[in-house]
Amino acid sequence: MEEVRPTRTELLQRRAQIQLADQGKDLLKQKRDALLIEFMSVMDETLRLSTELEKAVAEAQYALAVAKAVDGSIAVKSVSFVTKGEVSMEMSGTKIMGVSVPVVTKGESPLRSSFKRGYSVTGVSSRIDETAEKFEKVLDVIIESADIETRLKRLGEEIQKTNRRVNALEQVFIPQLKEQVSYIRMTLDERAREDLFRLKKVKASLEKKRAAM
């Protein structure tokens, strides 16, 4: 235990600190519970997008395999060399229960029409065109997943940090303060008993002297 002055002032200060710490603990618990609700909501969305991404990748790989089998790997590779395009994203932020959370949004959608992919529509088969479309869908879901997974990670970190603070208050700080309060009260009570004992001795001595006069 840290050195504590056993005075009534210290006793009042420690009691006030306990009250303040209890209020802080309750607020942190409310924050943690609200973040957990948001976390579970985002988790559901993450699982949905994970399933959607898995399905999109499987469909894109299947379309690519068909295109290679029918049109040939050389034709597919040639089209990939002339295909143009870029994926743009925008970063911003929002706040959830006072927690800053990054937000990733699509700039221009990676989903494009056949005329904007950079190759001649009449020069490729529908299979290759479908393959390009399927992989654009994969990119679209990846961007959406990046936003959700980033948010999930940030919320998870904040929940852990808040939980550590709650545990520190519950298991360390508040028990220490209560122990200090008990020590101060015990010391003050002991002093009061000693003072009372001395007063009784003084009173008895005075009465004895009066009786002897």
Give pLDDT tens digits for 29-80: 999 998 999 899 889 999 999 999 999 999 999 999 999 999 888 888 888 7
What pLDDT score was predicted for residue 58? 95
Reduce the DSSP state of residue 89 to 3 states and report it. Answer: strand
- CB under 8 A, 24+ apart: contacts of 154-157: 154/99, 154/100, 154/101, 154/102, 155/35, 155/38, 155/39, 155/42, 155/96, 155/99, 155/101, 156/39
For the cut 60, the answer to whether the pLDDT of residue 3 exceeds it is yes
How many Å apart are CA 96 and CA 153, to the nearest integer?
13
- 93 pLDDT more than 70: yes
The pLDDT of residue 181: 92
Of the candidates 28, 7, 6, the one whose C-alpha atom is nearest the C-alpha of residue 174 is: 28
What DSSP element (H or E) covers 96? strand 89-96
d(CA 51, CA 71): 30
pTM of the model: 0.69
124 pLDDT tier (thresholds 50, 70, 90): confident
Domains, the chain: 8-202 (1.10.287.3240)
Q: Say which amino acid occupies 179.
A: E
pLDDT averaged over the chain? 85
Could you read off the pLDDT of 161-212 as tens digits, one per residue? Answer: 999 999 999 999 999 999 999 999 898 888 888 877 788 777 767 777 777 7
Higher pLDDT, 87 or 142: 142
